[in-house]
Chain A
Amino acid sequence: MNQRIIYPTDDGGVAVIVPAPECGLTIEEIAAKDVPAGKPYKIVDVSDIPTDRTFRAAWEYA
């Protein structure tokens, strides 16, 4: 899948859910299952995720 699911973490950062290609679920189904209850989330294209993780801790949900 060339999509990711992002949601804000409790410490102000952002978590990125990486779907398993072989799981048989849609990205929406994965979001419903794996995003913590009550958290807002977005489905984004993988190209929207930075490849440089040097400042990973500084990523923010926007």
Chain B
Amino acid sequence: MTLVLNGTTGVSSVDGSASTPAIQGTDSNTGVFFPAADTVAIATGGSERLRADSSGNVGIGTGSPQAKLNSVSTGAALGGTAQFAVGSSSNDYENTYFRIDNSGNSNFCIDQKLSGVFYNRVLIERTTGNFKFDSGYGSVATAYGCRAWVNFNGTGVVAIRASGNVTSITDNGVGDYTVNFTTAMPDANYCAALSGGEGTAGSGGRVPASSGATTTTLRIQVRNLDNAAADGTDVLVAIFR
């Protein structure tokens, strides 16, 4: 079937191309064309902009979409043309932008605009996997997470109050405990923040040192003010890496 528009141009049996779409208006290089079997595309200014292929994938800026929606463009600088944006209005002051940056590393960025200025809020480094964000830091920085933590009572029948990434603690003796991690640390060079409340009335508690750090366990000791081993009522351990 041929549909004639304006008496000259319309839908026909021809597939068209990006430069001469099969369906077009008064602009002859803008319209819809059919670049392959079971495939439809849209061109503006003689260039293909969007394609829906035979697999149901939709590409923007690509003729070979690799996902249900695949937006492709060269990396953008902060404030440049992002690959994707969402917002509550056409006013970009209210929008959030998702962008692959032009650093050469193709980092994934989430940006927001405030009072006319673009700010990078979140960045995931493609090469390292580092997750960076600005949450009161003053700039986007790597978020070093607490990899394990435990709060336990080392007196009486030793018991864990709460924990994360810890399967158990081992009571080795008075003021002597081992924290056993669920998921191992990447190495033993982590930072352990420790505190231990010692149970004997009238004396304070402290953790003078950690020892025996491995990727899977950390042995800690609780000492009183006389540097004698002592059970802690509130032994708190947090591992950062």
Q: Does the CB pair A16–B162 fall under 8 Å? A: no
Interface size on A, residues (CB 8 A): 22
Residue of B nearest to A29 (CB): B167
Q: Does the CB pair A30–B158 fall under 8 Å? A: no
Q: Which residue of the partner chain, among A13, A16, A23, contacts B158 with CB atoms under 8 Å?
A: A16
On chain B, which size bracket covers the interface?
Answer: 20 to 34
Residue of B nearest to A52 (CB): B156
Q: Which residues of A contact B171 (CB under 8 A)?
A: 15-18
Q: Does the CB pair A20–B170 fall under 8 Å? A: no
Residue of B nearest to A16 (CB): B171
Residue of B nearest to A23 (CB): B167
In the bound complex, how far is the Cα of B10 from the Cα of A55, in angstroms? 96
B55 to chain A, nearest CB (A): 39
Q: Which residue of the partner chain, among A20, A25, A57, contacts B150 with CB atoms under 8 Å?
A: A20
A45 to chain B, nearest CB (A): 11
Q: Does the CB pair B168–A20 fall under 8 Å? A: yes
> Which chain B residues (145-159) contact chain A, with CB distance < 8 Å?
150, 152, 155-159
A6 to chain B, nearest CB (A): 9
The DSSP consensus for interface residues of chain B is: strand
Q: Which residue of the partner chain, among B163, B173, B174, contacts A23 with CB atoms under 8 Å?
A: B163
Q: Does the CB pair A17–B170 fall under 8 Å? A: yes
Q: Which residues of A contact B227 (CB under 8 A)?
A: none
> Which chain B residues (111-165) contact chain A, with CB distance < 8 Å?
150, 152, 155-160, 162-164
B239 to chain A, nearest CB (A): 14
Q: Does the CB pair B166–A20 fall under 8 Å? A: yes
Q: Does the CB pair B173–A34 fall under 8 Å? A: no
Task: Give the one of B150, B155, B167 with max A CB within 10 A.
Answer: B167
Task: Give the one of A20, A33, A49 with max B CB within 10 A.
Answer: A20
Q: Which residues of B contact A18 (CB under 8 A)?
A: 152, 158-160, 168-171
Contact with B along A24-56 (1 / 0, CB 8 A): 010000100110000000000010010101001
Q: Which residue of the partner chain, among A9, A17, A56, contacts B169 with CB atoms under 8 Å?
A: A17
B151 to chain A, nearest CB (A): 10
Pull 5 A–B residue pairs with CB atoms less than 8 Å apart, ordered by A. Answer: A18-B168, A20-B160, A22-B164, A53-B174, A56-B231
Residues of A participating in the B interface, judged by any CB pair closer than 8 Å: 5, 9, 13, 15-23, 25, 30, 33-34, 46, 49, 51, 53, 56-57
